[in-house]
Structure 1
């Protein structure tokens, strides 16, 4: 096992209806606005409500491909009846909620489209009331926080804001499971919804520091709902095993909370940054599951998580969920010395070796330190075995 400071962060600088008459009138109005060739799906779903108490709505109740999905006053019509399927789709009027042109960037609009089981039609409803497209790792969002009727819905980086919070029906009513869908659902069958159970977590880390709690990890998952929920059950378990194997390597098996070499502590203040080191020049040493270090990394991680870690770096060693969240921040959003994030490496089948390259490639890959690479690979294979999943190919870098 290597020392807990590997270099992960050394060189990377990286943020109900009112009455029967009213209901009938609404239904007639809907029918009159539908195209002649449209079939009215049965209203067996439920409304999804969000900003200002308004509903997710199919524009003009039109079930043609490409019809915009928008925010609108709740009216109980079939255009607002959504079913969340066990296959990860969200359906209305016989079609699926779909991200236009497979977009993954902020501002990609959503529409109605024939259900195809593709990644841009896969959604996860989180316990935090986000509706997430795991392929983009982004949340269903009301454009510009606008509460006006007909405001287009889109996907955007998850921020926990009111325009990304939704009250949705439970899953299970609309998916047929036979259209090739791979995403959706939280999987695993554990009470937390995470693919790693608490018993499996304890088996992976029998000598862990009590600071690193399982509940801290599962709480932190809310910040990155695409993690270990994207793709098939195999991919979900592979990603969880890969993340935890790298974390194990960085912390000596979840033993070390802070960097052990205190002589290094004053070394992690980059005074060229305009914001400086307000907590003190010696306060940005390695902490948490990835040994987060340097003032610019504390700021970047804090900005992304909505926590002022620049002024309060001690939170990383005092709050288990924050210690875990900093690791998930790197895993899901930083490519380090590699060409992709570790998350992308696993969900796109690049292999475990690419996660090592993105974490510490300059120091370990291409023959620089094969013993360290092998240690990570050994941990990954062991954790994959615990989770009952094949580790896949391309394990080394």
Structure 2
């Protein structure tokens, strides 16, 4: 009887979403004295995080449209691909683990802006269009794949763990573009999707593309390293070595976690500044304000010692 009631309530919730209602009333149960909630497609899985404000409460369709205003223009290379529903559906699996639900509304909004700042920067075609068309920061989610790959990104070093599929190219795809067979293999294993044989799934399914990106945001790249999420929301406590390497909790170190020496420790470089600019722009558009991003040394990684040397340069050189 209880499962039937939960099913009916869930169906009513989904119907409310379909009718354009922004907020979903969570299902609630008490387990060992703790209140746990599930909000269906908005926050999937019984969790304390789902009882509080979830992403769709403070970040709604119109805001997504504002952030990615040019993504469906005729010149955008992935027009019609990315949408709000795909982002929230992907995020639903990670909100119970704290994605966009950690540390109160302000921190939650900042994390979503930070994550999407990376995504917008990495999928932008704003560099090719003038200020008259909305400016370079309005062109996030223009791509869902690398358009003219120069190689197939197959690294034979991983031939026993993540062997390359003949005829398949492992060039950049997704919201935080994935390169190389070992990264497709690792991500696919985590998401229980065969990306090693079918990397094209990331350019065919926007929810999966966002899911892969959020998984990377929430997951340490290597053992004994923090995740970008933990670095950003303050769960990570720097060691003495981290402090000496000028690695601090905040946005700057998320770049270090995700890109290592490709972006960080290089001084005041464009690749770093482009990501920061998207983050600040999104904070403004979400109504948070860029002044909430913190001081310069927290925002950048220009003087940080990289966590990692690029696997691609190390393994293929």
Range of TM-score over shorter length: 0.5 to 0.7
- The one of 55, 69, 87 equivalent to 1:206 is 69
2:115 equivalent among 236, 243, 258: 243
CA distance in 1, matches of 2:37, 2:269: 38
TM-score for the superposition, normalised by structure 2: 0.66
Q: Counterpart of 1:5?
A: none
**SS state of the match for residue 266, structure 2?**
coil
**Following the alignment from structure 1 to structure 2, what is the Cα–Cα distance between the partners of residues 237 and 270?**
41
Q: Deviations over 1:274-329 (max 9, x none)?
A: 15545335421110111112111112111211212122211001111111111011
Q: Structure 1 CA distance, aligned partners of 2:192 and 2:173?
A: 18
Per the alignment, residue 356 of structure 1 pairs with 255
Aligned residue number for residue 262 of structure 1:
149
Report what 2:184 is aligned to.
Answer: 298
Residue in 2 that maps onto 1:279: 165
Q: Partner of 1:313: helix, strand, or coil? A: coil
Matches within 5 A, 1:211-222: 211-222=81-92
TM alignment of 1:134-145, pairs within 5 A = 134=49
Per-residue deviation, residues 240-282 of structure 1 (Å, max 9, x unmatched): 0000000111111211211133222x23343533155453354
Aligned counterparts of 2:57 and 2:216: Cα–Cα separation in 1: 19
Going from structure 1 to structure 2, the CA distance change for 1:322 and 1:201 (only over 3 Å counts) comes to same
Give CA-to-partner distance per residue, 1:84-108, whole Å, 9 cap, x none: xx9x99657xx832xxxxxxxxxxx
Q: Deviations over 1:101-157 (max 9, x none)?
A: xxxxxxxxxxxxxxxxxxxxx8552416511355xxxxxxxxxxxxxxxxxxxxxxx
Partner in structure 2 of residue 396 of structure 1: 300
Residue 232 of structure 1 and its aligned partner are, at CA, apart by 0.4
Distance across 1 between alignment mates of 2:267 and 2:225: 18
Name the structure where strand makes up a greater proportion of residues: 1
- Corresponding position: 1:132 with 2:31: no
Q: Is the 8 A contact 2:38 2:46 kept in 1?
A: yes
Question: Aligned with 2:40: secondary structure?
Answer: coil
- Structure 1 stretches of 4+ with a deviation exceeding 6 A read none
- The corresponding residue for 1:230 is 102
Aligned to 2:313: none
Which has a greater percent of helix? 2
Q: Residues 359 and 376 of structure 1: is their aligned pair in 2 closer, same or farther, counting only changes over 3 Å?
A: same
Which residue is 1:96 aligned to? 33
C-alpha distance in 2 between matches for 1:300 and 1:195: 32
State whether residues 45 and 93 of structure 2, in contact with CA within 8 Å, keep that contact through their aligned partners in structure 1.
Answer: no
- Residue of 362, 365, 371 corresponding to 2:270: 371
1:140-159 equivalences under 5 Å are none
Aligned to 1:314: 200
Mind listing any 5+ residue stretches in structure 1 that lack a counterpart? 1-15, 17-45, 51-85, 98-121, 135-182
Decide whether the 8 Å contact of 1:125 with 1:131 is kept in 2: yes
Aligned to 2:108, the other structure's residue is in SS state helix
Q: How many residues align?
A: 239
Query: How far apart in 2 are the matches of 1:352 and 1:302?
Result: 27
Say which of 174, 179, 185 aligns to 2:52.
Answer: 185
User: 1:26-55: per-residue Cα shift (whole Å, max 9, x none)?
Assistant: xxxxxxxxxxxxxxxxxxxx99x99xxxxx
Q: Mark the CA change 1:275 to 1:356 in structure 2 (over 3 Å): closer, same or farther.
A: closer
CA contact (8 A) 1:335 1:359 kept: yes
The DSSP-based 3-state class of the residue aligned with 2:232 is: helix
Distance in 1 between residues matched to 2:37 and 2:159, nearest whole Å:
38
Root mean square deviation of aligned Cα = 3.2
Partner residue of 1:138? none
Could you tell me how far apart the structure 2 residues matched to 1:351 and 1:220 are? 24
